[in-house]
Amino acid sequence: MKLNPFILALVFLTVGALTSPAHALFETRVTYGMLANNPDLDPLCPTCAAETPSVSNAYGLGADAILTIPFPFVPGVGLRYENMSFTTSGIDYTMDYTRTALLINWRPIDNLFFLGPIFTWGLSHSTRLKAEEGGVLKADFSSDSVKSYSLGLEGGVKLTGFIVGAEVGYLDFRWDGAEDATGNAATQDINMSGTYGKIILGFSI
């Protein structure tokens, strides 16, 4: 049986794309993420009269920069920046934070498709959680002692240097000893941990 040369070439190119390495030295990407945190808001506004609202997910933009040495089993190392926020209604709780973290990822599958674990460790944070009722500021918390790390799984596809993918995982995010700028003497430990997801768009060279 004689095979069509065009079909043979197409099969060869497809197999080559799926099996040949596609390691990039440097990767930059923007992310849009969601954090499904569920902090305990009750102790944060003891003078509020209305019922404490349920917490909405936090959403926001971010950016990653990753350097990868093209050797087997060597992880990529980089930095992650995030800017996230949420707002509730009733009692108007507003939370926003920025987070800069060390990023380490490893892709055992890294060809046309990539898949592997990703880890981050928080290096620098800015935090704020305030509560307003009837236009009056009732609480305004921030913390100088913040700890965070995340563990997740990323995957996607590489299209001639462009990257489209997603990431899911868990972020452990704790604001220890948060202080209220409105004058409340008591400090609060605020737990902003939760599952997260991100959409990834990037470019690699």
Q: What is the mean pLDDT of residues 50-58?
A: 82
Rounded Cα–Cα distance for residues 149 and 162 (Å):
27
**Cα-to-chain-centroid distance, residue 153:** 11
Distance CA 166, CA 64 (A): 13
- Under the banding of pLDDT at 50, 70 and 90, the label for residue 49 is confident
90: three-class secondary structure by DSSP: coil
Question: What SS3 state is found at 92?
Answer: strand
Please provide the DSSP assignment of 133-201 as one string. ETTEEEEEEE-SEEEEEEEEEEEEEEETTEEEEEEEEEEEEEEEEEEETTS----EEEE--EEEEEEEE
Where do we find the tokens 């992310």? 31
Name the average pLDDT for the chain: 86
For residue 15, what pLDDT is reported?
A: 39
> Which residue is associated with the tokens 């969601």?
34
Amino acid present at 174: R
Q: What is the mean pLDDT of residues 180-193?
A: 86
Over 70: is that where the pLDDT of 204 sits?
A: yes
The DSSP annotation for 3-46 comes to PPHHHHHHHHHHHHHHHS----SEEEEEEEEEEEE----GGG-T
What average pLDDT does the segment 148-162 reach? Answer: 95
90-141 per-position pLDDT tens digit: 788 999 999 999 999 999 998 899 999 999 999 999 999 999 988 889 899 9
Query: Could you give the CA distance from residue 199 to residue 82 in angstroms, rounded to a whole number?
Result: 13
Cα separation, 72 vs 144, in Å, equals 39
Per-residue pLDDT band for 46 (boundaries 50, 70, 90) equals confident
What does the pLDDT read at residue 10?
38
Residue pair 174/146 in contact by the 8 Å Cβ criterion: yes
DSSP letter, residue 69: -
User: Residue 71 has what pLDDT?
Assistant: 78
Stretch 159-177: mean pLDDT: 95
